[in-house]
């Protein structure tokens, strides 16, 4: 079977290693390619999805900048993609492309497993307003978050996400950066849905004071596995979800969707960590 990752600047991705782990444990023979838009040789007039179908891909994961852009190009959309306005997984079957969000399912699973009492409500501050932030905001709202706050460099994007969440009965508010420190605001959870902290950067998405006051921390960055944000959350003994864990579970959900196989996630997680040492 043939899979891949669609996006830009994806040479750092661990997805090929991850999906090979799933294949090894389920006895399947697969390939998993990095399909960087800047390096694909796509014929003039051909869409990237037509390219994937022509090259007989069974499924692709999707990352920046395509999680929202490709929604109108797929043949079919799952109910959750229609709802949240973001996709990260596409299946090609019987000459049709169908979009899914395993970002949404992965966030829900990891939050229930890792964030104590998350279903009891609480407020989340999400930094970012792109495709992954959309999935996260809807997932946390559907799990019972009482209020979702969004901070983003492009404030218009934050407003757009706020409106979409409110339209689905999830209380949300876009904030300017300076508003995060207002005395009347309290955030039970903090989520980084931006690239801040990636690579060798020691930058953090949130102020130490906010981290100290929060109960829950979610990091989407997985290279490095331990960002400064995660280190501080661990030091202050917060319930946390790592970017590696989110990557793992969205990948497992995608693999199971494409193949119909069930992944032994305990064995796969152990093998994955061993291979990326």
Q: Which residues are catalytic?
A: 67
Q: Are 161 and 138 in contact (CB under 8 A)?
A: no
Question: What is the C-alpha separation between 216 and 225, in angstroms, rounded?
Answer: 18
DSSP, res 261 = P
CA 141 to CA 157: how far, in whole Å?
A: 18
- Phi/psi for 115 (5° steps) reads -110, 105
- Residue indicated by tokens 């399912």: 105
Among all chains, which residue has been given the structure tokens 């492309």?
A: 97
Separation CA 238–CA 211 (nearest Å) = 9
**Whole-angstrom Cα distance, residue 147 to residue 122?**
7
Q: Buried b / exposed e across 7-40, counting CB within 10 Å, b at 16+?
A: beebeebbbbebbbbbbebbeeebebbebeeeee
Residue written as token pair 């009965």 = 169
Per-position DSSP letters for 117-159, written without gaps between them:
TGGG--EEEEE--SHHHHHHHHHHHHHT-SEEEEE-SSHHHHH
Helices 265-275 and 15-26: angle between axes, nearest 10 degrees: 130
Q: Do 25 and 271 touch, CB atoms closer than 8 A?
A: yes
């Amino acid at each position: 079977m043939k899979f891949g990752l669609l996006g830009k600047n994806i040479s750092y991705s661990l997805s090929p290693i991850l999906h090979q782990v799933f294949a090894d444990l389920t006895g399947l023979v697969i390939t998993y390619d990095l399909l960087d838009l800047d390096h694909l040789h796509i014929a003039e007039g051909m869409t990237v999805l037509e390219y994937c179908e022509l090259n007989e891909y069974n499924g692709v994961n999707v990352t920046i900048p395509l999680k929202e852009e490709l929604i109108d190009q797929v043949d079919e959309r799952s109910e959750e993609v229609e709802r949240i306005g973001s996709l990260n997984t596409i299946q090609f079957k019987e000459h049709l492309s169908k979009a899914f969000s395993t970002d949404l399912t992965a966030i829900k699973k990891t939050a229930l497993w890792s964030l104590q009492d998350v279903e009891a409500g609480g407020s989340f501050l999400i930094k970012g307003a792109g495709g992954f932030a959309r999935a996260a905001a809807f997932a946390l709202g559907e799990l019972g978050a009482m209020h979702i706050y969004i901070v983003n460099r492009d404030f218009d994007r934050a407003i757009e996400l706020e409106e979409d969440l409110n339209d689905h009965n999830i209380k949300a508010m876009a904030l300017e950066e300076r508003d995060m420190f207002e005395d009347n605001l309290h955030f039970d959870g903090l989520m980084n849905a931006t690239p801040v902290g990636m690579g060798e950067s020691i930058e953090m998405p949130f102020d130490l004071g906010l981290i100290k006051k929060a109960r829950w921390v979610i990091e989407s960055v997985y290279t490095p596995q331990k960002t400064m944000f995660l280190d501080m959350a661990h030091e202050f003994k917060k319930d946390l979800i790592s970017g590696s864990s989110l990557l793992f579970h969205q990948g497992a959900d995608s693999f199971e969707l494409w193949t119909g196989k069930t992944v032994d996630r305990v064995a796969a997680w152990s093998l994955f960590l061993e291979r990326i040492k």
